[in-house]
A and B are shown apart, each in its own frame.
Chain A
Amino acid sequence: MKEQQSIKPPRWVFRFLTFFCKEEFLEEISGDLEEIYQVNCQAHGKRRANWRYAWNVLRFFKWSNIKKTTRFNSNIVTMTRNNFKIAARVLWRQKVNTLLNVTGISIGIACFVLISLYVKRELSFDKFHEKGDRIYRTWTLEDYGGDQKFFYTNSPLPLEKALEDNIPDIEMAVQYNHNNFLVGEEGARINEDIAVASPEFFEMFSFPIVNGNQESPLADRTSIVISEAYATKYFGSKTSIGEPISVQINGENRVFNVSAIMQDLPKNTGFSFDMMISNKNDDILYRKEALQAWFNVSPETFVLIRENSTLAATEEKLPAMVKTALGDRVVEGEYTLGLQPLTDIHLNPEFPLANMPVGNPKYVYVLGAIGLLVLLIACINYTTLSMGQSMKRAKEVGVRKVVGAQKSGLIWQYLSESVLITFIAMVIGLVVAYLLLPLFNTLANTDLVMPLDFESLWVYVVLALAIGLATGAYPALVLSSLKLTNVLRGGQSSLGGKNVLRKSLLVFQLLLTVFLISSTLIMKKQLNYIQNEDLGFNRDAMVSVVLYPAPEAQGLGDNFTSGFKNGQLLKTKLEANPDVSDVAMGSHIFGSNGWMQVGFNDNNDAFKQFNLLVIDPYYISSFGIQMKEGRDFDPALDLDKRESIILNQAAVDYFGLTDPIGKKLPGKDFGNNTIIGVTEDFNFESLHSEVRPLVITQNDQTIFSGINDISISDSPTPKLVFKYTGTSLLEVKSILDEAWASTFPNEELRFDFVDEKLRLMYQDEARVNKIVGIATVLSVLIASIGLLGLTILIVNTKVKEIGIRKILGASPLKIFAMLFGDFSWQLLVAILLSVPLTWYLMSNWLKDFAYQIDIGVDMFLLSGVLAFGLTTLVISYHAIRAAKSNPVKALRTE
């Protein structure tokens, strides 16, 4: 009896050891390994110990330890060796064929690897936190019936404490927020994004601290944690603990001391900060009322659920907590609090955006599928090619069978060939992917890196093996089951009738290729459309500058007034330049989503929402926005500054106004207001959504007095825009630098080109389009290689037929047509079949846009013509050569 069940190293590894190791060494080697294994198990856990055990066994796999007398397994070893030897010879003999095969599969693998890197990055967002499976983010749904529904994932300031106090299942709650602050002393200030988080932040999330206070880096209100990159940027060293950094908060300079330096954040996390201070500073960051307010939301709150509790158990206690915290301020059911897993945030667009970026999961899956498709195309390519090749090999099979080869032996023989090919292709493909990565990053606007570690090596080896077996399986089966008598008697009729399978594989491959071509074209067309669509305003050469409101400005209204006042100074300077025209100011500029949205109860007590734009009287004319009715603001009129408002057509429809000029907004509490004009609808947000109701005013107070809800995602800091009429865009910076430096010498200048920002709104789509485009080019390349291989093959097998035909009087053209005809109908079938597939999938994609193109017949015609052109090009050379060849040469042999 055994005294206790001890942990054993993995059996299959041990089996491998006994398989190869010489008897006389086996006992001491396995004993030593077992001893090390047990030590590792204690020290590092079973998983690590298993890996190290396997690694050590592998290290013992060397010549001096390997059994030389292969009595037991001799046949398998010898045969495998022989198989690979023969495979290498065959591949070497058919150089062109091998080259085509290897190239095709390498390209497929390279493409697959590149895309999988991107997909892996997207899927791995925030999955590395040690406690990640217990971390959740809170969300809130306020539902007051009707349209008055608010769903958000940021949270009120007092929530953190309320959660920690009232719910025992929660180990800790952490707030996370980030904001722009001016950093540095007067004279050299830079605008930096600083995160504000609870002291336990680094306890909850696994972001390693490399220097300084490891335990509680945010314990003091004057502590600041900075990244290694920023430590280098500010102090030139990565060990600058205790150094002071001054940050301007609400008009006051406050000095923080570096308490810790953390590793730069990885790329696959939703958090993004290089500086972080403690939320103990909330009392100087926010007004007193905000600290207590439950309906004023800003940071995100994360909770860590205790190990012995569950999500359900925690969520169950949330309503009671809401009741305790909010009391009778809300009726039951109006205010719901919930939890969303941390790992779910990045790819779940159902939840509204807060600080953490959210990607479109559809794109990730689509790209993953496309990566697989290209790989599939490459595999099919190889299969069809090697099946064609098998005709040539029939005699070889016959001879082998006569000498006594078993069926299984033959299968292994042919599989070794395909495995050998895929391994070569894998190595080349990986190198190609590695070399192409920088190009891919530039094109797709990503920053991926290729991991070079053991784990991915294993994946690649397994992948190569799988591809090799999958692609080789069918040809191997066909070849090995040839009937001996048929083969040796001669003639090739024995190869399965009309090769239905081979042909359908080819059609399928062409179909996928044509599908990729059409999709790329359609996506490109849609992107061109939305980027060049007339948005209802001028965007060419428009430059926007973020203005600088005085630090002591409190609240939105003050912010506007002060910003506009400062803007006036800048405007005067800029207008002196002959290349600058159409200067205007406004709270929002085109090219960013999330303009200020406000809500109010109208005269019938129905909740209505609209976007609000606060501008100076020149804004509308600067952007060339068309008035539909009434007039634009008049800079000379004082009345306009006080109470005139302008609506867009969507707002007129939404409020149900007829003949709106001279009327008022349909709310009770608005200040004095008169509608003086209506603009044509212009797309002030991205074309994913329809134009929403918009109210334009010069006096924000008129509107603010009448609303009961406000939400802003785009920064409402006033901005100045102007049109640059000069020739060199580079000069814009110098013009601005000069004007800015003489107006606000201590502040940082931030400016953008409006058309550039508009382009960035479709960055996601552009990236997908680029990646799909790359995949398409590669798949076309693979398909061409496949076609080329097939042409060579067919020409070779039909040499005699062509010779006889020519002797009987067929013209070269006829012969070319004969060779081409076979492919062309397969291609035609492929194109026809691809139409419904493309149409279905692409209309689904287009649904994401409020403004979309029609998928016209022209797209399909274009891709059809492209495919045909390519096919002709690829086939031509060999077909023409065959058609022109001297028939005597072909018929002389035998």
Chain B
Amino acid sequence: MKGTYLGEFEELVLLTVGALYPEAYGVGIMDEIGKETGRKVNISAIHSALRRLDEKGFVKSEMGESTNERGGRRKRLFELTAFGKKALDEVQEQRMNLYNRIPNISYGS
């Protein structure tokens, strides 16, 4: 069942792809993650994660318009697939289930 598991960093990237729609691409995602979580991530890590997500079918991509600041090169724009959204929903649900079960006592003392 390789490919359905969603790693922590992958999840973060996937969320960002969804949040940035329709303008989600490498550097944009990196900046957004930096802004939201304060994590400094190397661009190559983002690319790897995106490629893995693509292989698993959570995102799809197409080439966008070329811009000047990129030396005339095109961006690869990513967007969530329905499958990707479903995966995120599941993760979210699992989290909430567990979260709601935390009894008050466990962080007392």
| Chain A residues near B (Cβ < 8 Å) | 8, 25, 27-36, 38, 56, 59-60, 62, 64-65
Contact = CB atoms under 8 A, between A and B. Distances in A.
B27 A32 contact: yes
A28 B64 CA distance: 10
A222 to B, nearest CB: 42
**A interface SS class:** helix
A38 B25 CA distance: 17
Contact of B70 (A35, A62, A64): A35
Interface stretch (B3-11, B15-23, B72-80, B92-100): B72-80
A38 B27 contact: no
Interface residues of B, number: 18
A419 B71 CA distance: 38
Nearest to A32: B26
B60 interface: no
Contacts of A25: 47
18 contacts: A8-B71, A25-B47, A27-B74, A28-B25, A28-B47, A28-B63, A31-B71, A31-B75, A32-B25, A32-B27, A32-B70, A33-B43, A34-B71, A34-B73, A35-B69, A56-B43, A59-B45, A64-B48
B70 A34 contact: yes
Contacts of A56: 42-44
B69 A59 contact: no
Contacts of A28: 25-26, 47, 63, 73-76
A518 to B, nearest CB: 55
A131 B86 CA distance: 60
Interface string B33-49: 00000000011110110
B48 A31 contact: no
B27 A64 contact: no
Nearest to B42: A59
Contacts of A60: 43-44, 47
B51 A64 contact: yes
B47 A29 contact: yes
B67 to A, nearest CB: 8
B108 to A, nearest CB: 35
Contacts of A33: 43
Contacts of A27: 63, 73-74, 76
Contacts of B44: 56, 59-60, 62
A30 B69 contact: no
Contacts of B42: 56, 59
Nearest to A60: B44
Nearest to A28: B76
A38 B76 CA distance: 19
A31 B43 contact: no
Given A27-B74, A28-B75, A36 B27 contact: yes
A524 B26 CA distance: 65
Nearest to B50: A28
Given A38-B69, A59-B43, 14 more contacts: A27-B63, A27-B73, A28-B47, A28-B73, A28-B75, A29-B26, A30-B71, A31-B26, A31-B70, A32-B26, A34-B70, A34-B71, A62-B44, A62-B48
A124 to B, nearest CB: 31
Contacts of B27: 32, 35-36
A449 to B, nearest CB: 27
A8 B70 CA distance: 11
A25 B76 CA distance: 9
Q: Chain B CB within 10 Å — which of A36, A38, A65 has the most? A: A36
Contacts of A36: 27, 43
B87 to A, nearest CB: 22
Contacts of A62: 44, 48
B47 A34 contact: no
A501 B73 CA distance: 57
Given A27-B63, A27-B73, A32 B51 contact: no
Contacts of B76: 27-28
Contacts of A65: 47
Contact of A31 (B45, B51, B73): B73
A30 B69 CA distance: 12
Nearest to A4: B68
Nearest to A58: B44
Contacts of A8: 71
Nearest to A24: B76
A602 to B, nearest CB: 76
A62 B48 CA distance: 10
Contact of B73 (A30, A38, A64): A30
Contacts of B48: 62, 64
A8 B44 CA distance: 20
Contacts of A64: 48, 51
